[in-house]
Structure 1
Amino acid sequence: MIRPTSLEELASYVEKGKSIFFFTADWCGDCTFIKPVMPEIEAEYPEFRFIEVDRDQFIDVAAEWTIFGIPSFVVTEDGKELGRLVNKNRKTKQEILSFLKDLPSR
């Protein structure tokens, strides 16, 4: 899981390649719930870069991308959004895998 430290670094992951942005925060209980299974999800989708985006650090990006609930996921390829799983509900491993399986590029 990549954890960008600057807006420029974060933007570079949007512009080129296949990326899954995982919006999270340290204080988020539902984020803490899903984090332990994220390596398993990453292993099933090696063609994607997984980017952990701290919602508090990148609050302007979260607002621009309409991320008002976390944990949330946005998938991009070469600057184009392929899909999003964005809501304020707790996510399960199965729900995330089903979302990724149904992406248009798969």
Structure 2
Amino acid sequence: MKQLQTNTFPEFITAGRKVVEFSADWCIDCVRIAPDLPEIESTFSSTFEFAMIDVDESQEVAQQFQVKGIPTFIVFENGKEVGRLPSRNAKTREQVVSFLQELE
């Protein structure tokens, strides 16, 4: 999965349909879902482009989008937020897949 930084984030979300996972190395739920992400990315590769941003390294972006817990998945379409899966609902592969299917 592509890794974003504060300076690469705006350009990434500008065009197309993008899924950004807000995450951190110390987050237990992020570590648990990580092995499922390549399969999820592959399943939805014709619909979305995926990336991850570390909330510790890019605090400004996390604050701008009011990310309160992690992992949080935000879907952007041409720079605008069109969907959000907050951390309380982003703990399993099934939850993430169901969320993305609703936005396909």
**TM-score (normalizing by structure 1):** 0.90
1:49 and 2:49 correspond: yes
Could you tell me whether the CA contact under 8 Å between 1:68 and 1:88 is conserved in 2?
no
Could you tell me whether the CA contact under 8 Å between 1:70 and 1:89 is conserved in 2?
no
1:87, distance to aligned residue in structure 2 (A): 3.0
CA 14–94 in structure 1, closer or farther in 2 if over 3 Å, else same = same
Alignment of 1:21-100 (within 5 A): 21-46=20-45, 47-88=47-88, 91-100=91-100
Q: What is the one-letter code of the residue matched to 2:7?
A: E
Q: Any gaps of 5 or more consecutive residues in structure 1?
A: none
Q: What SS does the aligned partner of 1:12 have?
A: helix
Q: CA RMSD in A?
A: 1.3
Structure 1's consecutive aligned runs of 4 or more residues displaced over 2 angstroms after TM superposition are 87-90
1:65 and 1:90 mapped to 2: Cα distance?
Answer: 17
**TM-score (normalizing by structure 2):** 0.92
